[in-house]
Structure 1
Amino acid sequence: MAMWIQAQQLQGDALHQMQALYGQHFPIEVRHYLAQWIENQQWDLVDMDNPAEEAKAKRLLDNLVAELQMKAQLQGGEDGFLLKIKLGHYANQLKSTYDRCPLELVRCIKHILHSEQRLVQEATKVSCGSGVVAMDTLSQRHQQINQTFEELRLATQETENELRKLQHSQEYFIIQYQENLRIQAQLSSLSSLTPAERTQRESALQSKRATVESWLTTEASTLQKHRLVGRRHTHSVPNIYPLPLTSRCEKLADLIWQNRQQIRRCEHLTQQLPLPGPMEELLNKLNADITDIISALVTSTFIIEKQPPQVLKTQTKFAATVRLLVGGKLNVHMNPPQVKAVIVNEQQAKALLKNESTHSESSGEILNNNCVMEYHQATGTLSAHFRNMSLKRIKRSDRRGAESVTEEKFTVLFEAQFSVGSNELVFHVKTLSLPVVVIVHGSQDNNATATVLWDNAFAETGRVPFIVPDKVLWHQLCEALDMKYKAEMHSERGLSEDNQVFLAQKAFTSSSNNPEDYRTMTISWAQFNRDSLPGRNFTFWQWFDGVVELMKRHLKPHWNDGAILGFVNKQQAQDMLLSKPNGTFLLRFSDSEIGGITIAWVAENPNKSGERMVWNLLPYTTKDFTIRSLADRISDLNHLLFLYPDRPKDEVFAKYYTPPLY
């Protein structure tokens, strides 16, 4: 419930964004009255792209409905009567909406919770001295975008009003024009009258004719000016990147489509009453411009919602999801498009971005690579879920120099054809996934992961596929490794400055303990994961990745508890322990073995009375911990008494001991 309490404190634009998350698909009242229950459920554990998870999603839906009905029954008294009815209605509504698609409920709630969390984090990230949240660059951008949308809305509304006036004026003009034709006919019939009657009638008709023609001339000029106003705001639709993405893209689509409809109505009025001037040419230009804008919008909002895995193993199932953010607003779902996925190499990706013809070119074969986009009424989303793709084969390019197969990058191309406006407009769209590295064996995984990490961390926006710098500053790599480590540990405890100095000593074969000595140093890709460390048969990355895998699989709780120092060399461990009582121990990562951790402790030297020494056990690896846990192994070793610096071992590890069997 803590998140909902914080969300209720949001103000201004953040509050409006939070309110916009709710609607008929998920009422805000449900979020309010079931806040604690909703936040206690493990929504993130449901795999949206696995049909087998539908049963889990169905249980969550049923439990949500049951909780809502229970909450409704608890309402009593006069004040609670209306709430009881409302909550009961919401329970039935959610059951009806999501009973056949419970995964969509999970998707909806996950989106709401993640969005709320983002808004709360943004609002509390920076505070000034008076305690007022400072407006950062992102919130300023939100404000600018909202202001631009309001200007566009007002301009479009103004044009709509002008167009209605024009239509009214033109209709009246046509009536008067018909009246003028009737007068002309009456003038022609004067020849049958007597001279006196003809003179009298002619004088009256000429006077009336002069009045009507004068009005027509003036009105024709006015109509022409009104039509020229149509050139106005169409060109002012900005090229912006809206956030929150979906709602603002839809708002932009709505405005653009209104402008297009106004241009079409102008064309219709022109056909009804052709007037001399450049009107046809202007309208053709406006039509072309607005079509280009719609094309740009559709193309740029065709996005990959769930990326394929960036390390892709052949003959292994994988999933991806693509989405058209404006699909609902433009009614694309009325003619459901089909999306195709193909894998392309670096050269083919370059050609695609240059709009060179690469039709039917691919670098491999993906099974189950066609998917029809589905429209989800409750959330208003149009998306295609590729749930069972598999890379059957891959065609590799010629390698350059020392480049290995795990350094070659591919990308998955998603392409589709969308019809907009009752098939009036047809757009061929495509989007590329993040770079992927294809492997055929699990042993290639760590080297492939290195390629992906380097690319994700150091690729520049708008680059030519898939160019990355060969060298980066050491502190930049440290930031990337820290993010990787915290993500794998699901922890805020990342790599400390001392940890980073340890890693620098390993990467550069240095003995300096001063962080400043490494701040301006650069590390190359070869130093990172091509050349082996001195005296070892593995690279810097392979050693680091081995640590991450070991921690992730077996030792994550101990790292998060602060029980593992890890990044300490043998000499440092000796210096630290010799100043402590016998039986004091610490845990450090092995220098000589990938994915190994050793226990170092201080004790008496059995061969020399009165002398103490530091002992090091052979490293434990994943293989050892699948047999017996670290905590149990520490419990077994009676000579280990205190975790460095002075914590009794049972105080730290007892909660992880395996209970004895009786």
Structure 2
Amino acid sequence: MGSGCELSMSQWKQVQQLEMKFLEQVDHFYDDNFPMEVRQFLAEWIEAQEWDVACNHEAMSTILFQNLLAQLEDQYVQEKNFLQRHNLKRIKQQLQVKYKTNPLHMATVISSCLREERRIIAAASMVEQGPLEKSMQNSVVFERQRNLENRVVVVRRSVQMVEQGVKFLENMQDEFDFRFKTLQSKDPAERNNEQARLEVVRLQDMLNLLDFKRKETLGKIAELIKEIDAVMSTQLTEELRDWKRRQQIACIGGPLLTGLDQLQNWFTMIAQSLFYIRRHLDKLEELVMKVTYDGDPIPLQKPELEERVKCLIYHLIKSSFVVERQPCMPTHLQRQLVIKTGVFFTMKLRLLVKLPEINYQLNVKTIFDKDLPAGRVSRQFFIQGTSIKAMDLEDSSNGCLSVEFRHLQLKERKLCNGSKGNEVPVTVTEELHSFSFEAQLCLQGLTVDLETCSLPIVVISNVSQLPGGWASVIWYNLLTDDPKNLSFFSSPPAASWSQLSEVLSWQFSSFVGRGLNAEQLAMLAEKLLGQQAAFSDCQFSWAKFFKENIPGKPFSFWLWLDSILELIKKHLLPLWIDGYIMGFVSKEMERALLKDKEPGTFLLRFSESHLGGITFTWVDHSENGEVKFHSVEPYTKSRLAALPFANILRDYKVIVDGNVPENPLKLLYPGIAKDEAFGKHYNSQPCKDSQYISSVFIPVSQFTNVSAAPFSSLDLLPMSPGEFDVLKKQLSPVEFETAMNSPCYAE
């Protein structure tokens, strides 16, 4: 754990102090999502806004959008550097164009960027990146992308060379045609003189060269088509598959999804090249109509080349139809792919090929459970809302064709004759469903049937099923990349701890702003898997993750962890983000950490016996030097609803020598003064005479006001009415009432 000074550092300053390999990741996602200059200029203002809340409130997002533009205007007015003023003006205009009709999207983008910064900061604190993140950020991936970029550029240059070759052919043929017709127009007597015979020789030589150039041009076109085919079938397909895998990982809290604009650029450049080749082949057909001869290569080779180009265009456009944003309820942006019946959800599709020829309305139809195998689910649903919409050009710099479904709901279908549906061997939250999307594109005599599908979703009917649904989404997207494997949970594979630990850390970084460090993950591993020499290769089954209860507890591992996430989100967020909650530490480790510390040193950990509880333990020493550890009853959401946890730590009291209430909490482990750690999170001043006692703690040992000798809580003796009245007068009514009604114990 770092010092309080480090932990209080602004997020943007922490980003700027990262190593270069992490800064490159930051640069990568800001390029695709939001101008980094705005993040730099408005760092403090941006971090002070509630972007997560604005994602779900159009009015709030609109206000923030206008405020952001106003902040940029202020920066513009104050800026003295001419170039910076120019950049600020340009950026403001771009943001106005991009988000004026959809400020909710801007709020979502900024929220995602801030979340990704926090995830990268957390990743930088890890000793080693997890296997999934490493696979997406390694040098091999970047090198492959650079290679693809170079090959696409080469294809474009080759198309330009073919175009020059066709123009050369056209000019040569025009000259040949003119001279040939001129010779033909002469009188028969003139055709036999020496000059005419020389002209025939020249024409024969031109025809030979024309034939050579036609064959050369066709050969270059054939090679170019072969290269495009190779680029499409290997690298472009691989990049698209890789982007879809990264989308899966982003859906479960992993690195922010980037690269779709770059993919669109590659798809569009290849498509443009293919359409140019098609036009050049048509041009060659026109040349044949003017001049042809026996053995003319154009009518012999053109049909095959044309068919190959047509086939490549078909497959390119077909594969360019993708789900840009997976189904998600706006109220649960960090838990995509879980849809509750009767609640609006959104999803967005994009066509990656951007050409003037297809800038017209393209109707997209949404179908639910089209490919669901028979007998796989016990419930059936139908879509309520507009399930057919037209794709339109986006009002943004990429100008792609896209369509967003914003107002859809799922309704459960009432089955006839009292049927309960098919009997399936999985629970409701293990049933996987999906959306299919269909459209038909007719272009230059080519008909392309577009079809794609969403990642599998889980449909819930009660919000209490959300943790189970999200557990299924995590497990599925962690362990498979097959979007149509809807029977996955009939026999779910196990996950290694190295895989699972990485995803668990992402749950914390994406949902509550700070991931788990190596020590916290090691504590979790030991809790779940016991003492091991190494945890990375240990296998963790789906049943142990979600379905089976933790030994001796009435809940599963995931429900325990999810309840902690909810507790942090609603009641502990600032303290968690600052890194002051150790959280995952066993009682044995807790005592080992505290035993040599000064009296009053304490740490915060999550309850192992309660769902969604946090407790604190401090160390004390008796007069004979014996080390004592004191813990309080866990604070759950019901207890934290009335008062911030930081205030509880500030105002907590126990009865010590002389019956005087005293706060035993002095130093946050390893030795940070309590007020230095939590002072900025106190939301009120302490009442006079500390008129709040969060709970009266009866530790394993106390000190009496008579002899100051230690005694067991079991040795407490009744007080006389007079003695009790003296004690009572030292407490406020609130403290006394709390003392009488709050059960406390050492956990």
Q: What is the TM-score when the length of structure 2 is the normalising length?
A: 0.68
Match of residue 145 from structure 1: 148
Deviation track 1:133-170 (CA, whole Å, cap 9, x = no partner) reads x9932332233123212321232122111111111122
Q: Does the residue aligned with 1:568 lie in a helix, a strand or coil?
A: coil
Q: Distance in 2 between matches of 1:554 and 1:108?
A: 23
Distance 1:455 1:641, change over 3 A: same
Match of 1:232 among 216, 223, 226: 223
SS in 1 for 2:555: coil
Give a deviation string over 1:287-321, Cα, whole Å, max 9, x none: 22112222222222222222213111111011122
In the superposition, relative to structure 1, how do residues 485 and 91 fare at CA in structure 2: closer, same or farther (>3 Å)? closer
SS at 1:410 equivalent: coil
In structure 2, do the counterparts of structure 1 residues 442 and 471 end up closer, same or farther at CA, with 3 Å as the change threshold? same
Corresponding letter in the other structure for 2:632: L
Match of 2:665 among 638, 641, 645: 641
Do the aligned partners of residues 217 and 553 (structure 1) sit closer, same or farther apart at CA in structure 2, a change above 3 Å counting? same
- Which sits farther off after the overlay, 425-434 or 642-651? 642-651
Matches within 5 A, 1:388-427: 388-393=407-412, 398=422, 400-401=424-425, 403-420=426-443, 423-427=444-448
Give the deviation of 1:435 after TM superposition.
Answer: 2.0
Of 62, 71, 89, which aligns to 1:55? 62
Cα deviation 1:436-464 (Å, max 9, x = unaligned): 11100011111111111111222146885
Kindly state the Cα deviation for residue 589 of structure 1 after the two structures are TM-superposed: 1.8
- What is the alpha-carbon distance in structure 2 between the residues aligned to residue 637 and residue 166 of structure 1? 91
For the 8 Å contact 1:315–1:392, the answer to whether it is kept is yes
**Equivalence for 1:195:** none
Which position in structure 2 is the counterpart of 1:307? 326
**Deviations 1:101-159, CA, capped at 9 Å, x for gaps:** 47499499969989x989x99xx99xxxxxxxx99323322331232123212321221
1:562 match: secondary structure = coil
Contact 2:61 2:104 in 1 (8 A): no
Residue deviations 1:540-581, cap 9 Å, x none? Answer: 111111122212222122223333222223344345445545
CA distance in 2, matches of 1:332, 1:599: 63
Secondary structure of residue in 2 paired with 1:251: helix
Relative contact order higher in (CA < 8 Å, ≥ 6 apart):
2
Task: Give the Cα separation in 2 of the matches to 1:429 and 1:52.
Answer: 36
Aligned-pair CA distance for 1:534: 2.2
CA contact (8 A) 1:473 1:521 kept: yes
**Residue of structure 1 in register with 2:566 after alignment:** 549
What is the TM-score of this pair, normalised by structure 1?
0.76
C-alpha distance 39-137 of structure 1, shift in aligned 2 (>3 A): farther
Q: Distance in 1 between matches of 2:88 and 2:554?
A: 66
CA offset digits 1:511-543 (Å, max 9, x no partner): x2x452x34321211111112222322111111
Which one of the candidate residues 410, 431, 438 is aligned to 2:459? 438
The gaps in structure 2 that reach 5 residues or longer are 1-10, 126-136, 240-258, 328-335, 655-663, 689-747
The answer for the alignment partner of 1:66 in structure 2 is 73
Q: Which amino acid aligns with 1:641?
A: L
Query: Residues 341-352 of structure 1 correspond to what in structure 2 (within 5 A)?
Result: 341-344=366-369, 347=372
| Paired residues of 1:49 and 1:387 also in contact (CA < 8 A) | no
My pick for the range that moved more, 557-566 or 535-544, is: 557-566
1:441-520 to 2 correspondence within 5 Å? Answer: 441-460=462-481, 464=485, 467=488, 469-492=492-515, 494-497=516-519, 499-508=520-529, 510=530, 512=531, 514-516=532-534, 518-520=535-537
* Native 8 Å contact 1:502 1:568 kept in 2: yes
Q: Is the 8 A contact 1:506 1:540 kept in 2?
A: no
- Contact kept? 2:392, 2:401, Cα under 8 Å: yes
Partner in structure 2 of residue 263 of structure 1: 281
Please say if 1:598 is aligned against 2:606. Answer: no
Counterpart amino acid of 2:461? V
Asked whether 1:563 is paired with 2:586, we answer: no
Q: Which residue of 2 aligns with 1:290?
A: 309
CA contact (8 A) 2:99 2:105 kept: no
C-alpha displacement at 1:180, in angstroms?
4.7
From 376, 400, 409, the equivalent of 1:381 is 400
Deviates further, 217-226 or 281-290: 217-226
Structure 2 Cα separation of the partners of residues 645 and 339 of structure 1:
59
How many Å separate the matches in 2 of 1:627 and 1:108? 30
What is the root-mean-square deviation of aligned Cα atoms in Å? Answer: 4.7
- Answer yes or no: is 1:332 the counterpart of 2:354: no
**C-alpha distance in 1, partners of 2:563/2:647?**
22
**278-287 or 63-72: bigger deviation:** 63-72
SS at match of 1:307: strand
Q: Deviations over 1:477-507 (max 9, x none)?
A: 2222122222223125x1434x334433443
1:594 Cα shift?
A: 1.3
Contact 1:224 1:275 in 2 (8 A): no
The answer to whether the 8 A contact 1:314-1:390 is kept is: yes
Secondary structure of the residue aligned to 1:429 is: strand
Matches within 5 A, 1:349-388: 364-376=382-394, 378-379=396-397, 380-388=399-407
Distance 1:261-1:466 versus aligned 2 partners, 3 A rule: farther
| SS across alignment from 2:456 | coil
| Distance in 1 separating the partners of 2:361 and 2:271 | 18
Aligned residues of 1:439 and 1:445 also touching (Cα < 8 A): yes
Determine helix, strand or coil for the equivalent of 2:554.
coil
Which whole-Å CA distance do the structure 1 matches of 2:467 and 2:108 have between them?
35
Q: Give the Å deviation of 1:405.
A: 0.9
1:622 corresponds to 2:641: no
- Tell me, in whole angstroms, the C-alpha distance in 2 between the residues paired with 1:181 and 1:519: 86
SS of equivalent residue, structure 2 residue 369 = strand
Q: Is the 8 A contact 1:303 1:322 kept in 2?
A: yes
Residues 530 and 40 of structure 1, relative CA distance in 2, 3 Å threshold: same
Q: 2 CA distance for matches of 1:202 and 1:331?
A: 54
Instruction: Measure the CA separation in 2 of the matches of 1:479 and 1:144.
Output: 30
| Cα distance, 1:92 vs structure 2 | 9.8
- C-alpha deviation, 1:630, in angstroms: 1.3
Deviation string 1:359-406 (CA, Å, 9 cap, x unpaired) is: xxx9532422222222135412322122222222369974543x2010
Q: Which amino acid aligns with 1:558?
A: L
Aligned residues: percent identity?
A: 24
The whole-number CA distance in structure 2 between the counterparts of 1:10 and 1:535 is 47
Q: Out of 167, 170, 188, which is 1:167 matched to?
A: 170
Q: Given the superposition, is the C-alpha separation of residues 370 and 576 from structure 1 closer, same or farther in structure 2, using an over 3 Å criterion?
A: same
Change in Cα spacing, 1:49 to 1:286, as seen in structure 2 (3 Å) is farther
**Structure 1 stretches lacking a partner, 5+ long:** 126-133, 188-197, 352-361
Q: Which moved more, 1:315-324 or 1:270-279?
A: 270-279
- Where 2:311 maps in the other structure, the secondary structure is helix
Equivalent-residue separation in structure 2 for 1:276 and 1:49 (angstroms): 71
Aligned mates of 1:336, 1:563 — CA distance in 2: 54
- The 1:254–1:544 alpha-carbon spacing in structure 2 relative to 1, beyond 3 Å, is same
